[in-house]
Amino acid sequence: MFFCAKCICFAAAAFLLVGGPSPCRAADYYKWMDEHGNLHFSDSLQNIPEKYRKQIEKKEFLDDASPDSESVPAPKVISASDAGKQQNKPLKRFEVPYKPSEGSAKRVIVDVVLNNSVRAAMAIDTGAPETVISARLAEKIGLFNEDQERLVIRTGGIGGSAPAIRSIVNTIQVGEGKSEFVPIIVISALSKAFEGLLGLDFVSNFSMTIDAKREILIFEEIPLTPDKPGGHDREWWTSHFAEFAESRARWKAYSESLGQSIHDSMQSTANEDVKRKAFADVQLQEAEKMLDKLNRYASRHSVPIEWRQY
């Protein structure tokens, strides 16, 4: 089944068939301000200077969730010795200019490159656990092509829940900072001023400072460690495996229930069930593709088997 940008609205019908949203998972990050008034974020207490630890603000957010050998570059596996060598090197530090507003709203909007090819303005949102992009941007980077993964989900906010699509971006880059294999959420539209929200899944790879006077972001690389294969901790890996495995299980169960209903029904209403089952079967395939892609990426990084769920 082909998904164009408009198909996100059509996906709303699927939610009436599947039921409630997936369970949420929690994670933490820390916020503090230095003596110059610069705001910092980090997901690790160890990255915070000792003198600021008494005034840090700990935040909790809820996570709604979560390569093809030709389409995703093979990353380097970090061994214990490599990680030790990297920790002895100076951390990469770079600056990125940002746009400080969206009309009257205060924002931090930066230039982002997706899949090494498409540039887009995206707002940094440290309150968002994962990156969100518009359907228009998803179409630009080819996420609606037939060979891409497109899993229908429900995403929630203050105004309630709405249909969305779950997919994976191969690379996201801001300045010299780059992340590979980024699970994202696609929604119908965001804002005229930006085409996506860069979530904590990207920001947490760096210690970030906002210099409001110069309107720049200062990123400092966090060194890789053996307990974070691919730059992700155990929680990241287990939560995404659980999300994709659960999606596969739910669509499989729904497809099987519709198959039984079609078999038992002798009425014309079975035609509607046939359509629903066709959609459910496609979604089951998409969930299997997502899980397989994550598993192959995990294998390239030597992620422990006990971190993976099938």
Whether residues 269 and 215 share a domain: the answer is: no
Query: What confidence score (pLDDT) does residue 183 get?
Result: 94
Q: What is the pLDDT of residue 2?
A: 41
pLDDT at 132: 94
Q: Are residues 80 and 117 in the same domain?
A: yes
Beta carbons of 132 and 187 less than 8 angstroms apart: yes
Using the 3D structure, point to which of 234, 256, 276 is the last residue of a domain. 234
In this prediction, residue 300 carries a pLDDT of 94
Q: pLDDT value at position 269? A: 57
User: Which pLDDT score, from 0 to 100, does residue 299 have?
Assistant: 95
- pLDDT (tens, 9 = 90+) of the chain, 310 residues, equals 444 444 444 444 444 334 433 333 334 555 666 666 555 555 566 667 777 777 665 544 333 333 333 333 333 343 444 444 444 566 789 999 999 877 777 889 999 999 999 999 999 988 788 899 999 999 999 998 888 889 998 776 555 667 899 999 999 999 999 999 999 999 988 888 899 999 888 888 888 899 989 999 999 988 778 888 988 899 999 999 999 999 999 999 999 999 988 888 766 556 788 899 999 999 999 999 999 999 999 999 999 999 998 8
pLDDT of residue 36: 61
In a domain, 138, yes or no: yes
Residues 209 and 84 placed together within one structural domain of the fold: yes
61 and 90 both lie in a single domain: yes
Contact at 8 Å (CB) between 74 and 220?
A: no
* Full DSSP string of 88-131: HSPPPEEEEE-EEEETTEEEEEEEEEETTTEEEEEEE-TT-SSE
Specify the CATH number for the domain of residue 103: 2.40.70.10
**What pLDDT is recorded for position 6?**
44
In a shared domain, residues 94 and 105? yes
Model pTM score:
0.71
**Is the same domain home to 72 and 185?**
yes
For residues 254 and 298, membership in a common domain is answered with yes
One domain for residues 225 and 251: no
Of 183, 206, 234, which one is at a domain's C-terminal end? 234
On whether both 296 and 159 belong to a single domain, the answer is no
| Domain range for 102 | 7-234
Per the listing, tokens 């503090």 go with 32
Specify the pLDDT at position 197. 93
Among the candidates 234, 249, 276, a domain finishes at 234
What's residue 157's pLDDT?
A: 57
Same-domain pairing of 272 and 187: no
Looking at the structure of the chain, the number of domains it has is 2
Tell me: do 29 and 143 sit in the same domain: yes
C-alpha–C-alpha distance, residues 267 and 270, integer Å: 6
Same structural domain, 163 and 35: yes
pLDDT at 102: 73
